[in-house]
């Protein structure tokens, strides 16, 4: 059994769901860690993605990814096969505010007519939803990391740093019995 932890960086926040597809954000970075059932890292998928639009300055200030940084990268369509291979066979997908990242991937898949051809893991776990059940309110990944470890993590809003922090947070939430681990 394999588990995918993931995070994305984008060109903006989600538009209302009724908005046309071209008005939804584009992914500019995706970072995934594949683990076994014991949460030991098996492999990593990381790529920058060239969006078909200019990355807005206000978003660049958040994640630091600008048009120059992605100018030589492939668009999402050029990353699809490698990403699909990475996901194939995984049983769980875990994210902090997972529905955001999953919705972004769905929009990218719709743009290339692959929305029904992606090997989605059957089980989804969102640490935002889990902490909300426990605490009664949402927490950012940085706040949750600080509560669990007594410090914030470096480079927040980098898909790599966020995914690595997510894996640490997930392991600690299980260790503290705040949530159950994957059903084997």
Residue by residue, pLDDT tens for the chain (184 residues) are 899 999 999 999 888 888 999 999 999 999 999 999 999 999 999 999 999 999 999 999 999 999 999 999 999 999 999 999 999 999 999 999 999 999 999 999 999 999 999 999 999 999 999 999 999 999 999 999 999 999 988 777 799 999 999 999 999 999 999 988 875 4
Q: What is the pLDDT of residue 127?
A: 96
CB atoms inside a 10 Å sphere around CB 38: 9
Determine the pLDDT at residue 184: 45
Domain ranges of the chain: 2-126
How is 102-113 classified by DSSP, letter by letter? HHHHHHHHHHTT
Alpha-carbon gap, residue 27 to 75, rounded angstroms: 9
Q: Is 81 helix (H, G, I), strand (E, B) or coil?
A: helix
**Intra-chain end-to-end CA distance of the chain, in Å:** 8
User: Alpha-carbon distance 92 to 147, whole Å?
Assistant: 25
CATH architecture classification, 2-126 = 2-Layer Sandwich (3.30)
Closest CA to 63 of 144, 149, 159: 159
Instruction: Quickly list H helices, 20-158.
Output: 57-63, 67-70, 76-87, 98-111, 127-135, 141-149
Parallel, antiparallel or unpaired: strands 41-48 and 27-35: antiparallel
Which are the contacts of 145, defined by CB distance < 8 A and separation ≥ 6?
Answer: 151, 152, 153, 165, 168, 169
The pTM for the full model equals: 0.94
Q: Judging by beta carbons within 10 Å of its beta carbon (0-12, 13-18, 19+), is residue 43 exposed, middle or buried?
A: exposed
Instruction: Kindly state the DSSP code that residue 156 receives in the 8-state scheme.
Output: T
CA distances from residue 43 to 5, 21, 37 in whole angstroms, order as listed: 11, 32, 13
Question: d(Cα 104, Cα 107) in Å, to the nearest integer?
Answer: 5
């Amino acid at each position: 059994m394999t588990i995918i932890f993931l995070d994305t960086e984008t060109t903006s926040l989600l538009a209302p769901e009724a908005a046309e597809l071209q008005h939804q954000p584009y992914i500019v970075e995706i970072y995934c860690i594949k683990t076994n059932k014991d949460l030991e890292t098996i492999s990593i998928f990381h790529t920058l993605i060239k969006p078909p639009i200019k990355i807005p300055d206000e978003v660049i200030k958040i994640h630091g990814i600008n048009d120059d940084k992605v100018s030589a990268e492939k668009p999402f369509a050029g990353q699809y096969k490698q990403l699909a291979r990475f996901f194939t066979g995984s049983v769980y997908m875990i994210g902090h505010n997972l529905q955001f990242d999953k919705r972004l991937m769905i929009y990218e898949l719709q743009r290339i007519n692959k929305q029904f051809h992606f090997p989605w893991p059957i089980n989804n776990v969102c640490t935002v939803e889990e902490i909300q059940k426990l605490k009664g309110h949402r927490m950012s990944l940085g706040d949750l990391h600080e509560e669990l470890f007594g410090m914030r993590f470096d480079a927040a809003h980098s898909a790599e740093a966020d995914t690595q922090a997510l894996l640490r947070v997930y392991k600690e939430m299980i260790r503290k019995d705040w949530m159950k681990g994957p059903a084997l």
